[in-house]
A and B are shown apart, each in its own frame.
Chain A
Amino acid sequence: MACGHATNFGAHWRRAASAATRLGPLGIAVGVPILAVGAVSLFGSRSSERELTLIFIYVTIVVGLYVFSGLSGIMTFGHMGFMAVGAYAGAIFTIPVERKQFLLPDLPDFLQQIELGVGSGALVAGAVASAVAAVASIPIMRLAGLAASLSTLALLVIVNVVAQNWETVTRGNQTMLGVPTNTTLTSAFVTVVIVIVAAHLFERSRPGLRLRAYREDELAAAAGGIAGANERRLAFILSAFIVGLAGFLFAQFVGAFNANAFYLDLTFLTLAMLVVGGIYSLPGAVVGAMVVSSISWVLRRFEHDQDIGPVVVPGVGGIRELGVAVAMLAVLLVYREGLAGAGRSIGPFLVAAARRARRRPGASAPPMGRSVE
């Protein structure tokens, strides 16, 4: 950083602007959760900590969705199936053995006796979800975009039907209980950061770039020798791992759940988060998840009667889903690129403002031969 006679404030501002623009998307993607944790730690209550933990679980899911849909351009409706797999696998592998004997008496001995800690449980959950994805990807990756998307919806239904009926493993229709509640704000936050960095590295890796080439222009990519199927499969499996991880976190957050938690409602909510943030952007996915979660949280309170000053606003059941649907449609119909698009417009504006600040009288002459990229 050249240029030495500016005021202290000018120097700090320049340094910050330069650093921010250099960190770029990864900086934003990680920065927003950091800010959120900071804010909640300083000002928040116990319940807002729990709320933020749940939001971070959603962020993990949406980053997983981004790794597949954002990079390949193929919409997935089935990833909540992988979340379910991760949650149930996590439950089976981490519920204490004594409890398991009552809850899941018919498990094979190997599963009956095993009890893993959080770390290994999480990895197993992700691995099982990836395994299911690997198998499912055999037929699904042979299909073209729209057909593939619809087949992921079929996958969601298949997983749901199996989960609701396979009593020995999932307790069928009954709630899965007794999962140790180990998920904290810290563990959720750490997971989010790891997952975001992993996604960032993946999108810049060779397979990631090839996949994005395929997304942008299938024909050109094919002409350049990129058929895309292997890369799509890799992204599918990786995204399933991430979403399975989120399922594990969720299971250890709520302690009890059933198969319907991972069906259409959550599919729609997480899809809305991805869309509002900007389907093709990683920081968009993160910010979109946090924004939509917040909207959803606020609207949930309005489902019951609220006292606002002297007025009682009557509760409107279902307003949460409607609000999210409206937000999603607003983005789709009006501002196609979501928050990421808005960010891209504002970003250069801020950088230009930073440059102008540098040239204000009182600062010395603009530095030669140095550009802030």
Chain B
Amino acid sequence: MDAKLIQLTVDALSSGGIIALFALGIALIFGVMDLINFAHASLIVVTSYSLLYLDVLPAGAALVAAIGMAVVVALATERVAFRPIRGAGEVTLLVTSFAVFYLIQNLTLLIVGGIPQSVHVLGFVRGSVMLGDVRVAKLSLVTIAVTGALLVSLAAFLKRTSFGLQMRAAAEDFGMARLLGVRANSVVAWAFALSGVLAGCAAILFVAETGTLTPNMGFNLVLFAFVATILGGLGSLWGAVLGAFILGALMVTLQNALPLDVRPYRDAFVFLAVIALLILLPNGLAGRRTRSA
């Protein structure tokens, strides 16, 4: 029983970690722009398929370049699609981000073609390690470590640096922050760039685990991330992370606890559980936006 618990915990932390990285990127952008950025979902496809073309580079450089692609695409979407509508109503922002997602997704597929391909990433992280009585995949541990490192660095950046402070101020009250001298464009651009880095890392970890590239890869995972930000409460970065880990735990628990014939419905059950949680807490776990239903 103990071994099983360790296994489940490792899985939950590693899946939750990937979801958390996506959720954090989404929460960052929401914080500075009040925008739920569906286009974030397209960054998985962009990063992963870039890896395919970048395998001429040595492993480390390829990874960095792929993350770079995610950052470039994120910044491009900000400049071209989201800056003109900054401050527009919720609905316009939401629908625009959906359109951008669709556009980038299909453009990428147009360029690379839709046939599933295999890719080898983080090849040196093969194999498993013994943790007490349990055999644990090295990749899971690496995922947890990378996620932890990124979260800690982001926290340090936001708390300790001047720019982090500006971003937090902008997330708190954009207008006031500008009056106090925060440059709006830089803050928003940095939010997008950071979200690109987070998404790129998450995508690499995801691809390392699954090994295949398909047109719709990771969509369910990113959807979990969106739902995690709601669960955590829109407007709270750490709520998003918490929500993500809760979802990861739910996912892994259900995967193991559900009877075999019901297991294909796992994702449906996760969403149902989230909806149930939201009935109890309509503003999420740590939400600061209070809107009556």
- Chain B count of residues within 8 A CB distance of the other chain: 44
Q: Pick the contact of B275: A151, A161, A275 (CB < 8 A).
A: A151
A321-353, CB < 8 A from B: 321-322, 325-326, 328-329, 332-333, 336
Report Cα–Cα, A157/B227, bound state, in Å: 12
Interface of B is mostly: helix
Residues on B with beta carbons closer than 8 Å to the beta carbon of A332 = 85, 92, 95-96, 99
Which one of B223, B234, B284 contacts A154 once the chains associate, using CB atoms below 8 Å?
B223
Contact with A along B251-293 (1 / 0, CB 8 A): 0000000000000110110011011101100101000010111
A149 CB-CB contact with B under 8 Å: yes
B85: which of A74, A153, A333 is its contact (CB, 8 Å)?
A333
Q: Which of B98, B220, B227, B268 has the most CB of A within 10 A?
A: B98
Contacts of B98 in A (CB 8 A): 77, 268, 271
Binds B, one of A42-50, A54-62, A137-145, A251-259: A137-145
In Å, the complex CA distance between A236 and B91 comes to 17
Give the nearest-CB partner of A272 in chain B: B99
A74 to B92, CA, bound (A): 11
- Residues of A contacting B95 with CB < 8 Å? 75, 271, 275, 279, 328, 332
Q: Looking at the assembled complex, report how far the CB atom of A165 sits from the nearest CB atom of chain B, in whole angstroms.
A: 4
Say yes or no: A321 contacts B106, CB within 8 Å: yes
Q: Bound complex: CA of A332 vs CA of B92, how far in Å?
A: 7
B137 interface residue (CB < 8 Å to A): no
Cross-chain contact A329 with B81 (CB below 8 angstroms): yes
CA separation between A74 and B91, bound complex, in Å? Answer: 7
Contacts of B220 in A (CB 8 A): 157
Residues of A that sit less than 8 Å from B by CB: 73-75, 77, 138-147, 149-151, 153-155, 157-158, 161-162, 164-165, 218, 222, 227, 229, 264, 268, 271-272, 275, 279, 316-319, 321-322, 325-326, 328-329, 332-333, 336
Interface residue ranges, B against A (CB under 8 Å)? 36, 81, 84-85, 88, 90-92, 94-96, 98-100, 102-103, 106-107, 109-110, 219-220, 223, 226-227, 230, 234, 264-265, 267-268, 271-272, 274-276, 278-279, 282, 284, 289, 291-293
Show 5 residue pairs from A and B whose CB-CB distance is below 8 angstroms, ordered by the A residue: A318-B110, A325-B103, A325-B106, A328-B99, A333-B85
